[in-house]
Amino acid sequence: MSSQLQSRSIEAQSFGRLNARVALIVGGGAGIGEATARIFTREGARVCVGDINYLAAKSIADSIVASGGEAIAIEVDVRSDTSVKQLVSQTIERFGALHILFNSAGGSLPQDAPVTDVDLSVWDCTMSLDLLGTILCCRHAIPQIIANGGGAVVNMSSGAALRGSGKAHIYASAKGAIVSLTQALAGTYAKDNVRTNAICSGRINTERIRQSYGIPGHPGKSIDAMRVDDLIKDYPFWFGEPEDIAHIALFLASDESRMITGASIPADGGRSAY
């Protein structure tokens, strides 16, 4: 792994920002979702880790419990209305409430391409996972959040939604739609004390990105670890850690961001600005 990436760390501190809250982390089995589940628990939340990979989700939930937190794991396919409905109902059954939804499930396909070239099968797969999955989770979670007096929804978008330089047109479309969906949800449910925001993340040190960028031990299709180091020298925030995004999600889920709703926060190391 890149030497500069290895040297970065975030000191763990707990301030009880989410005490007495129940959080549903969708896509919590790895990467940003995993980091968020751990940080939310550290801040006092009881957490449901939902993921299509049940064994991964259970490993994380078990680790949280072993560390003194409260967590459960539930298998979910966010493309299925029935599966998402069961995820939310089982979370309520276990914890008795729901206050926070973090939509982290998603991804892109290597076959994604400009609209003049892309195979249309990429559209169905990407939209189902990224956009429909977010919609279904909001569809079933928001009524429960309202029933418990309000709370927060945090959707994962992407820096790809904020710029026109990418060649993955279908992924950019899905993530751009999440920005618009976030605004619509914020406007509709503000009166119900539900805040909805999105995070437009950049390059984050997850397994998927490591494979894409050729960090040692993972076959890459683009640039190698030395190139990542060179880019960080010029743009020190260009490549982030899952915890970088999880801390933004924590802020948006907590009362510290009470005046923020309908926003899409660029967390892309400045790529959308320069």
Question: Any idea which residues carry the catalytic annotation?
Answer: 171
The answer to whether 60 and 49 are in contact (CB under 8 A) is yes
Type of residue numbered 58:
K
Distances (CA, A) of 118 to 20, 124, 161, 169, 274: 47, 12, 18, 8, 28
Instruction: Quickly list DSSP for 148-182.
Output: TT-EEEEEEEEGGGS-S--S-HHHHHHHHHHHHHH
SS (H, E, C) 195-258: EEEEEEECEECCHHHHHHHCCCCCCCCCCCHHHHHHHHHHCCCCEECHHHHHHHHHHHHCHHHC
d(CA 60, CA 149): 29
Non-local CB neighbours of 64 within 8 Å, separated by 6+ positions: 37, 38, 41, 47, 49, 70, 71
d(CA 206, CA 185): 28
